[in-house]
């Protein structure tokens, strides 16, 4: 029978996979890959603030990720180039977070787990937070699926149907910040964007409908989490990066399948 810490790690990986898969589809459709990356980098600043004020890591990362996402959305609507904003705010937040953590005694070792993830150290409380967060994200996406899809496909048609594209973008931003806060313990801030993008990108050539793409992305993300965890345990490799490597392999296989049909 598997050890308790492995069972918790497996359940944590599945929870993150379920949360990132449908949201990752919208990230791919909207070409928001670097948006997710910037939000994830801001989470390091949230970790630093949480450690400094002895508050919940989840609350700190959620607050800073949400603040970053809202700042990017607001400034992009004021005429700033989105790629410039992402570059400036993403790297600035990451740098400020790393510098802030360096002033905290004894925090450097902990920082590595938040940069690259430490799924094997997930406790019962972390597991509860991950699954509650995943349930909230899934519920939010399921509730707004049609509106989010309409706003993603064509903003003008969405307005004609009575859907506010800005509101749907804010809902997507909120869900993205929640996913970052949930996933940081499992794959780390530097790999969260990969977990969002790679399974969805791998599912794209294998699906014919948006719903099918979300389901297939979830299956690929779950397979990557469990397989990556098993390979990490077998070969003593870092768990978070190993999970991403498995996901990247799935993407390569999907891409080869697509190319073979051309």
In a domain, 217, yes or no: no
Reported as a single tens digit per residue, the pLDDT across 136-153 is 999 999 999 999 999 998
Q: How confident is the model at residue 186 (pLDDT cuts 50, 70, 90)?
A: confident
Reported as a single tens digit per residue, the pLDDT across 209-249 is 999 999 999 999 999 999 999 999 899 998 889 999 999 99
In a domain, 120, yes or no: yes
In a domain, 234, yes or no: no
Query: How many domains does one find in the chain?
Result: 1
Reported as a single tens digit per residue, the pLDDT across 20-46 is 999 999 989 988 777 777 887 888 888
The reported pTM is 0.88
Reported as a single tens digit per residue, the pLDDT across 61-74 is 888 888 887 887 77
In a domain, 249, yes or no: no
The number of CA neighbours under 13 Å toward the Cβ of 114 is 27
Question: Which CATH number belongs to the domain containing residue 66 in this structure?
Answer: 1.10.3470.10
* Percent of the chain residues past pLDDT 70, beyond the cut: 96
In a domain, 245, yes or no: no
The b-or-e profile of 3-28 (16+ CB within 10 A means b, else e) is eeeeebbbebbbbbbbbbbbbbbbbb
60: containing domain: 4-191
């Amino acid at each position: 029978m598997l050890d308790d810490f492995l069972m918790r790690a497996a359940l944590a990986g599945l929870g993150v996979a379920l949360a990132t898969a449908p949201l990752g589809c919208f990230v791919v459709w909207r070409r928001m890959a670097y948006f997710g990356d910037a939000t994830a980098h801001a989470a390091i600043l949230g970790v630093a603030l949480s450690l400094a004020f002895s508050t919940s890591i989840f609350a700190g990362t959620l607050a800073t990720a949400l603040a970053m996402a809202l700042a990017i959305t607001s400034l992009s609507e004021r005429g700033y180039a989105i790629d410039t904003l992402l570059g400036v705010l993403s790297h600035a937040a990451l740098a400020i977070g790393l510098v802030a953590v360096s002033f905290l005694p004894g925090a450097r070792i902990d920082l590595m787990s938040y940069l690259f993830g430490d799924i094997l150290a997930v406790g019962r409380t972390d597991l509860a937070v991950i699954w509650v967060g995943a349930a909230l994200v899934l519920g939010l996406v399921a509730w707004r699926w049609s509106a989010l899809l309409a706003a993603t496909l064509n903003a003008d048609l969405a307005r004609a149907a009575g859907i506010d594209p800005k509101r749907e973008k804010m809902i997507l931003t909120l869900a993205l910040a929640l996913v970052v806060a949930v996933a940081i313990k499992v794959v780390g801030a530097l790999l969260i964007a990969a977990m969002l993008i790679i399974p969805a990108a791998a599912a794209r050539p294998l699906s014919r409908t948006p719903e099918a793409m979300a389901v297939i992305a979830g299956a690929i993300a779950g397979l990557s989490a469990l397989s990556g965890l098993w390979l990490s345990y077998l070969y003593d490799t870092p768990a978070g990066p190993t999970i991403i490597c498995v996901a990247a392999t799935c993407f390569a296989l999907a891409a080869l399948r697509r190319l073979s049909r051309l």
